[in-house]
Structure 1
Amino acid sequence: MITYFRHLFVDSWAGRAFAVLIFAAFVLWGVGDFFTKLGGAPDASTVAAVGDRKIGIDDFNNAFHAQLDQVARQSGGDASSLPQQERAQVAMQVLQGLVSRAEALREATRLGLVVPDDVLRQTIFDLPLFKGPDGQFQRSRFDAWLQQNRLTEARVLSIFRDDLTANALVEPLRVGAKAPAVLVRHAYDFAAQTRTVDLVSFPFAAGPAPAPPDQGTLQRYYDNHPQQFQAPEYRRVKLVLLSPQTIARSIDVPEADERALFRAQNNNGSVPEKRSVQVITAPSEARAQALATLWRGGAGWPQMQAAATDSVPVALDDAARATFPSPEMGSLAFGAKAGEVAGPLKTETGWVLLKVTKVDPAVTHSFADSRQALHDQIAAARVRDLLADRVQKLQDVIAGGGASGSGLDQVPADLGAVAAEGTLDAQGMTQAGEPAPLPGTDAQRQAIIATAFAQKQGAPPELKQGPDDAEYALSVEQVTPAAALPFAAVQDRVRDAVVADARRRQAEQQAATLFAAARKAGGLAKLPAGTPGLAGLVHQPPFGRSGPPAGVPPQLRQIAFSLKVGQSTMVPGADGFVVATVTGVQHPDPASNRMAYDRLQANLDGSVANDIEVAYATLLRGRKQPTLNAQAIRSVVGP
């Protein structure tokens, strides 16, 4: 299935006002073809034009960075770690989406599609973001949001009107789209299939204690493993960091703006009661009752998640009553005591039972107590307007310092950058064994450390892009090479390492012997009762691809789904080795979890509908090719 952005805007309606995204991406162009089309420049503030419809550089910049952050989160990294080729691919997808959206709006205009004012008005009135405690649209909330995000009412109405117009054009194309039944069945079997295994664990610490090593053994180990017993390399660095967070702290927010947000957002300081709950939605009342009995019997949340193979376990943290999926679930959660299992309760999605894990009572904050948080929230919304200009100024200052690196000492105080200087090792620790007080988030600090140990001493500082839209530059002032520690100073550490190594070899030999026997016999269960190590045999309950039960290493889960029944394997873990045999493969009947099957059907139906949209976008593109501004695009994406 083609994967692309279904919605015209980012996830939240608030975000839609900043990043007008896409109704179809991954359309037509390949990466190479895309960049060959970069040509004329409509104007400096426009990245592309489709006829008389223009795509502004701000819209592209916001959409690009939003999608870049999402891609980085999915890969478990940060935006700064993405290679340039992947950044270019993201830029291509985002720009294609924006162009497709412009083409859709152009086609809607040609067909005479018009969104009535009353529909537009009701759409905005229905947004929870702008509703007061009585559930009605509150003009003061809307005005405060406009002021906080520096948007005009006309701009917001234009964005929402375009959203509704494009939806009116493409939504009829999606009606009736259906994924083939055989595709849904195969996808369900892949996702819901479970396996059972027999396993024996060989913990490193469980074996008999090895003989104490003599002095000669310790000396040989020390000589053969010098990297384990040395003082690390230290580097003295001077750096400057500029990020949305550091800029936000330098922004002066008028008190009137803070008070307006305080009134609109907090209902004059009143914060409703919030609760953290663990929720399980079961397919039937009988199944829900069985899970409730297990839960009330003392089972913990990990055990309940493992047991709810045919249900949907979800944890909701710090949720107000109004944020629950249904009023009935909210009443159930707020009617239960902390630690109590409530339900089951029949809802539209299934039979719900839940456990309240935390209760935060309703509180009233004064304006003075909330002022810093209000400042931070307003400032954070205004940072993006300032970021590009501040980055350029920082670049100019650093470049002006030349090879000497003196630019790091000349950064203006009103730029919103943070400077630091000190000595640290490659793990970010000082010579005193404490974390170095580096500025920024954890991801930003890791990027700074990596650069500090990749850059040569005396090299001129260069402005680098870091995680979360940060920019930083540094110079390496001094390098203290790693040095071997005297044997006498680390003798105890050497002894511990020798013993640990002996325990690991012992566990590995025992596990390898049992693994060879199990493979020859056709499984652990077929070995004679007196086989060494077999006394610790455990019959694990079924587990799926999404997560094994306690006691099953993650490596075993991956391998287990590639083995046939009766096949054995041996895997290392953090604390020992595991020998396992796959004893069964379960293919759940869709009727046993109709809710999950229907959800998968709906997702795949949506993918088919997406493909239809892409085909329609292809048709529209053939009518009017866009004009792209290469210089404006590269100013956002980079060279």
Structure 2
Amino acid sequence: MLQILRHKAGSIVVKVLFVLLILSFAIWGVGDIFRNRGQTDTVATVGDQTIPLQQVDAQFRNVAQAQRIPLAVAQQFGLVQQVLDSQISSLLYAQFARDLGYVVPQDVVADAVRVDPRFKDPATNQFSRDIFLQALQGSGLNEAGFIASQRSQMAQQQVLRALFVGAEPPKALVDPITRYRRETRVAETITLRNADQTRVPQPTAADLEAYHKDHGDKFQSPEYRTLSVVILNADDFGKGAAVSEDEARTYYEKNQANYEKPELRKFDQVIAPTKELAAQIVAAVRGGKPVQQAVDEAGNASVTLVPVDFTAKANMPVAALAEPGFALQQGQATDPVQSPFGWHVLVLTGTQAARTVPFEEARPEIETALRQSKAADALYETANKFEDALADGVAIDKAAQEFGFTVTTVPAVAKDGSTQSGTPLAVLPGQAQILTTAFGLQQGDASPMTAIDNKISVIVRVESILPPTTEPLAKVRDEVAAAWTEQKQAEATATLATDIEKRLQAGEAAVDVAKAVGGQYAETQPLLRDASNAGALPAPLVRDLFTAKVGGTATAETPGGRVVARLTRIDPAKPDATAEAAVSQDLRRSLAGDIGAGLDQVLRDRYGVSIDQSVLARLKYEE
């Protein structure tokens, strides 16, 4: 990952991907940049818009943490500047989208939010405003900020799609690149296992002491953190919340469609393996026989009776049964209807007429929903004030006392839940999520409110960080001995591999050499240059084979051993339409990137971009 950051920082494709990534984090992983907690320094100006330092810091942290790169390392390799460049590109493309007329209507954004599965109630599969608000609070956003980010992202995606259409590479470029990529090579290999090197002596006390001293980083305790956790239950905020009759009636009237109940019907359903048997059942029922008797008299164990309970027409288990089933009168049977399960016959056994649920009947459910909504709103508002207090430097215990929250103190704990003392950690709701959140924060930082489920949310603060330390030799003696032995076995394997290479270069048969040294002989399939079909063979070995001549050798380390190879055959590429299409697609992206690089500079010149590097330099991250 660090190599990618170092070498690909200037790629327009990477910039575009970062734009989309930053937008994603703007929605899901940072504090709400629209909520003013005091004056923020401006690090960049794009046209008439500004980017505050707080926004760069928050999004940098999230990108680095998502990629599991330490903050100081990520800053060293230029991720801060890349995040800022991506934010600038985001504003440039947004302005360009507006100039081109790509304006996303409010109702389109609203529709996208309503169908987003993240905001649906699992019980009803319908949009839930409570879940929506909890998700926003957990991400540190308000509703206006979320909608604005959604609209901006949708508009920019339209611009990006238009940008990358029409760039087509010439065939004169596609053909030689395809031939280069699809050339294959075959080699015979000898695989060695470190564990087979049994002549390694037992380590002495001096060996163990020296190895422990030189490789202390291998025997470290985990990082521990002490935490303060505030656990919030939405039910606590709903206690005493009153819902007036006017509020309930207004909700009822605005959601009238939810209280229109369709006609429901229930059936006796017979499923037969053949149309003839199904027709026999129909004739028997229409002749006045009960359904069960008709099934029994069919004389076939594959004929089954599967009742269908009260069901709406739109929810019939087999769609083809809906029309005939809802055309029946009480006691009537349908003609046979075929489905992948067999031949069906329905007999109507009950009907519930369509109706409108009256207000008084719906009122208890409505009042419960409104109380839950009020609780979520109260939780959202109070948590915002609590987070503001923490941001203003108020101690977490004092802020918690002011708002009536309870603070749970978590002793020094590792990310896997083990404690420094060895005492089991008291169970916390959403413990794994709490620890993941905590280990993404800096010392003294508090997380935004994070939803654990539909009712429980938490705010996590890191009080102290205890860095890993080298365990004493007495505690890890067995581990040190095993590591020392593994190193000596690996060294013996490397020496043996060098000897095998010399024997293969001298022309000895590889199968005989493998037998003599206790290695495993094999012949590879035709290998591709990118090692995509190399299986367990190391990519560096394949790379070396593609620089060798027939008869040349190469060796590489594998997990737990080494492999030695001798090149036996080189096969030119064969015509391959699929490979040509893949190369064409890669070149198309590269050409689109060149076009995008030009557009990026044009937009910067058109709208104007200025960066205050002295403000950006205030961001400093410790190891």
- CA–CA distance in structure 2, aligned partners of residues 627 and 228 of structure 1: 49
* Mapped pair 1:615 → 2:598: yes
Matching residue within 210, 222, 227 for 1:240? 227
Could you tell me how far apart the structure 2 residues matched to 1:382 and 1:586 are?
Answer: 69
- Identity of aligned pairs, percent? 14
- State the Cα distance separating 1:538 from its structure 2 match: 0.9
* 1:575 corresponds to 2:560: yes
Deviations 1:216-270 (A, max 9, x none): x7456456546499997889977336xxxx67x53747679xxx9xxx9xx9xxx
Q: Distance in 1 between matches of 2:413 and 2:506?
A: 57
Following TM superposition, by how much is the alpha carbon of 1:94 offset from its aligned partner in structure 2, in angstroms?
A: 1.9
Paired residue type of 1:206: D
Give the distance between the partners of 1:617 and 1:391, measured in 2 at CA.
Answer: 40
What residue identity is the alignment partner of 1:576?
A: G
Q: CA deviation at 1:578?
A: 2.2
Q: CA 1:385 to 1:115, structure 2 compared with 1: closer, same or farther past 3 Å? A: same
Distance in 2 of aligned mates of 1:181 and 1:381: 59
Structure 2 equivalent of residue 516 of structure 1: 502
Q: Paired residue for 2:90? A: 98
Q: What are the Cα deviations for residues 164-221 of structure 1, in whole angstroms up to 9, with x where unaligned?
A: 66667676665432234455456556665554332112223335x54986xxx74564
1:541 maps to 525
Instruction: Please name the residue that 1:200 is paired with.
Output: 190
2:516 maps to a residue whose letter is: P
Cα shift readout 1:372-399 (whole Å, capped 9, x = no counterpart): xx99x99999999789746635x6649x
Structure 1 residue 552 corresponds to structure 2 residue 537 = yes
Q: Tell me the alpha carbon deviations over residues 548-567 of structure 1, each in whole angstroms, 9 at most, x when there is no partner.
A: 65543465345445544432
How many angstroms does 1:618 deviate by? 2.4
Question: Take 1:498 and 1:56, find their aligned partners in 2: how far apart are those partners?
Answer: 53
Superposition deviation, residue 507 in structure 1: 3.9
Please say which structure displays the higher CA radius of gyration: 2
Structure 2 length as normaliser, TM-score?
Answer: 0.51
Q: Distance in 1 between matches of 2:423 and 2:199?
A: 32
Contact residue 22 and residue 83 of structure 2 kept, 8 A: no
Q: Secondary structure at the match of 1:614?
A: helix
Aligned-partner SS, 2:78: helix
CA RMSD of aligned residues (A): 6.5
Conservation of the 8 A alpha-carbon contact between 1:69 and 1:79: no
SS at match of 2:516: coil
Residues 81 and 227 (structure 1 numbering): CA distance in 2 closer, same or farther, change over 3 Å?
Answer: same
Q: 1:219 to 1:551 in 2, by over 3 A?
A: same
**Whole-Å Cα distance in 2 between the matches of residues 528 and 124 of structure 1?**
71
AA aligned to 2:592 is A
Judge conservation of contact 2:194–2:490 (CA < 8 Å) in 1.
Answer: yes
Once structures 1 and 2 are overlaid, which stretch shifts more, 193-202 or 504-513? 504-513
Counterpart amino acid of 1:205? Answer: A
Structure 1 residue runs of 5 or longer lacking an equivalent are: 21-42, 133-137, 268-334, 337-373, 399-408, 452-461
Query: Are 1:82 and 2:68 matched, yes or no?
Result: no
Normalising by structure 1, report the TM-score. 0.50
Deviation at 1:100, TM superposition (A): 1.4
- SS state at 1:577 partner: strand
Counterpart of 1:532 in 2: which secondary structure?
A: helix
| 1:178 corresponds to 2:168 | yes
1:197-596 matched pairs, under 5 angstroms: 197-206=187-196, 209-210=198-199, 218=204, 221-222=207-208, 225=211, 227=213, 239-240=226-227, 249-250=231-232, 252=234, 389=388, 392-393=391-392, 397=395, 412=400, 419-422=409-412, 430=420, 463=444, 472-474=462-464, 483-485=472-474, 503-504=489-490, 506-521=492-507, 525=509, 532-533=516-517, 536-544=520-528, 545=530, 547=532, 549-553=534-538, 556-557=541-542, 559-585=544-570, 588-589=573-574, 591-594=575-578
Provide structure 2 residue ranges, at least 5 long, that are not aligned to the other structure: 1-10, 31-38, 119-123, 242-250, 259-339, 342-372, 451-458
Q: Which moved more, 1:623-632 or 1:178-187?
A: 623-632
Equivalent pair of 1:178/1:608 in contact (CA under 8 Å): yes
SS of match in other structure, 2:462 = strand
Residue 608 of structure 1: how far off its partner (Å): 2.2
Question: What's the secondary structure of 1:537's corresponding residue?
Answer: strand
Whether the aligned pair in 1 keeps the contact of 2:557 and 2:563 (CA below 8 Å) is yes
SS at match of 1:82: helix
Q: Which residue of 2 aligns with 1:285?
A: none
- The count of residues paired between Structure 1 and Structure 2 equals 453
8 Å contact from structure 2 (residues 386, 399) kept in 1: no
Distance in 2 (CA, whole Å) between partners of 1:625 and 1:200 is 61
Which whole-Å deviations, capped at 9, do the CAs of 1:436-492 have from their partners, x for residues lacking one? 9998777778789xx9xxxxxxxxxx64799x9987342769x99965549xx96x8
> In the superposition, relative to structure 1, how do residues 13 and 95 fare at CA in structure 2: closer, same or farther (>3 Å)?
closer
Q: Which among 3, 6, 10 is matched to residue 13 of structure 2?
A: 3
